[in-house]
Amino acid sequence: MKIHSVDVFIVDLPTVRPHQLAMHTIVTQTIVVARLKDDEGREGWSEVATIGGASYGESTPEAIKVNIDRYITPIVIGKEPVHFDKIMYEVSKHVRGNYFAKALIEAAIIDLAARAKEVPAYELFGGKIHSSLPVAWTLASGDTEKDIEEAKELLGQRRHNIFKLKIGKGDPNKNVEHVLKINSAVGNEARITVDVNQAWDEDTANYCIAALQDGGISMVEQPLPTWNHEGMARLTSRFRVPIMADEAANTVQDVFQIAKHRAGNSIALKVCKAGGLTQTKKVAAIAEGSGLGLYGGTMIESSLGTAICAQLYSTLPELKFGTELFGPLLFKDNLTLNNITYENFEIVIPDGPGFGMEVDKEKLKHYTRE
């Protein structure tokens, strides 16, 4: 069984409501889907998501596609999918960076290999430890009363009891006040976290984190720009509330430096930014060995990409801060014939061959860019 062809699709999926970050507001999310075929007709599928073109990071959807088509595909054609580690080692020798592209191609190879063996992909990573994982939801209306109402409704449905607020855009003091009012209203039933998306300087962070800590907020994510490791270390040392590195915690080397200098005491895992499932597992091992808490992050993938992340996260011993794999709930439509299940405040880990998701090819065709 050898890889015969590689196809990459850029897809734009509309969301049910605007999703605001410091650098971009998502109303249509761009995802990149890959399909690999082997010489026996089997298919392996994968997905990565990007945010706001080049506003979030360097891996634009267009760059992901062209670099796979031009530079990565020739390396993987003719290879046996079961040797995915060897294939990706060869890719790494010829292609620098391009972590999203590498994650996309590796996941499709793994899906293909697992389907050939008729096992879930998590079996190729030691098997799942968890059958479900806690999942957070982002409150993003910007209206305090509406966010409180939404949080209470989701608590009543037993869908989420961890809520994140994006507070990197606008007046920091007003944002903190907004968060504390929500925490006061639902904090006895839920855990409230905040994500700054690198938007603060250190003076602002010192003032605002003190207020958030006193108000009972349970975690502060990436308050400073990615380059400011020393500032993150000072914040981590000063405050009791956990300081999480996200945009700064990408590769194995990044996470080693964060652990060494304590530039955060927890990290957000993301398969795409680490460069694939295998690399994410290595990142998690470094964090575990150095006592950093783990969070199963998201780039707001649809159901396929969410299944990929969920299956890998299920193989990790502990995710101290749960996951943020709510992506499929944010979209108006779905690219798969089956859906991700959410129940009792958790995401259920998909089973079935590969990543357990069956792509709806008509929907893929409908949403793919010309």
Task: Inform me whether the pLDDT recorded for 180 exceeds 90.
Answer: yes
- What is the C-alpha to C-alpha distance for residues 91 and 302, in angstroms, rounded to an integer? 26
Question: What is the mean predicted confidence (pLDDT) over 174-199?
Answer: 95
208-216 average pLDDT score: 97
Residue 228 has pLDDT above 80, yes or no: yes
Which pLDDT belongs to residue 25?
A: 72
Residue 9 CB coordination number (10 Å): 18
Instruction: Decide if pLDDT at 70 tops 70.
Output: yes
Residue 140 is predicted with a pLDDT of 85
Structural domains in the chain? 3-118+360-367 (3.30.390.10), 124-348 (3.20.20.120)
Q: Which helix (H) or strand (E) holds 162?
A: strand 162-166
Structure tokens given for 125: 């990573």
The sheet with strand 137-139 has its strands ordered as 137-139, 162-166, 191-195, 219-221, 243-245, 266-269, 293-296
Residue 52 has pLDDT above 70, yes or no: no
- Does 24 have pLDDT greater than 90? no
The DSSP element (H or E) to which 65 belongs, if any, is: helix 61-67
Strands 346-348 and 342-343: antiparallel
With beta carbons less than 8 A apart as the criterion, state whether 134 and 164 touch.
no
Residue 28 tokens read as 């249509």
H or E stretch covering 117:
helix 99-117
Under the banding of pLDDT at 50, 70 and 90, the label for residue 55 is low
Provide the pLDDT confidence category of residue 58 given band limits of 50, 70 and 90: confident
In whole angstroms, what is the distance from residue 94 CA to residue 58 CA? 19
Q: How far apart are CA 44 and CA 60, in angstroms?
A: 23
Please, which pLDDT band fits residue 296 given cuts at 50, 70 and 90? very high
Percent helix, strand and coil across the chain, each to the nearest 5: 40, 20, 35
Q: How far apart are CA 90 and CA 94, in angstroms?
A: 7
Rounded to an integer, what distance in angstroms lies between the CA atom of residue 281 and that of residue 363?
A: 32
Over residues 269-288, the pLDDT tens digits come to: 999 999 999 999 999 999 99
pLDDT at 21: 63
As a whole-number percent, the residues of the chain with pLDDT over 90 amount to: 91
pLDDT reported for residue 5: 96
106: Cα within 13 Å, side-chain hemisphere:
29
131-146 pLDDT tens trace: 999 999 999 888 899 9
* Predicted local confidence at residue 75, as pLDDT: 97
Average pLDDT score over the chain: 94
Q: How many CA atoms lie within 13 A of 249 on its CB side?
A: 36
* Confidence category of residue 1, pLDDT binned at 50, 70, 90: confident
Note whether 349 and 131 are within 8 A (CB). yes
pLDDT at 351: 95
**Lowest mean per-residue pLDDT among 47-61, 113-127, 306-320:** 47-61
Residue 27's pLDDT band (cuts 50, 70, 90):
confident
Global pTM value: 0.94
pLDDT of 56 above 80: no
Q: Percentage of the chain surpassing pLDDT 70?
A: 96
- Taking 70 as the threshold, does the pLDDT of residue 23 lie above it? no
For residue 198, pLDDT beyond 80: yes
Contact 326, 135 (CB under 8 A): yes
**Active site residues per annotation:** 166
Q: Is 64 helix (H, G, I), strand (E, B) or coil?
A: helix
Whether the per-residue pLDDT at 117 is higher than 70: the answer is: yes
Alpha helices in 157-298 (DSSP H): 172-186, 202-214, 229-238, 252-261, 271-274, 277-289
- The span from the CA of 139 to the CA of 242, in Å, is 20
- Asked if residue 38 has pLDDT above 80, the reply is yes
Tokens of 287: 């964090």
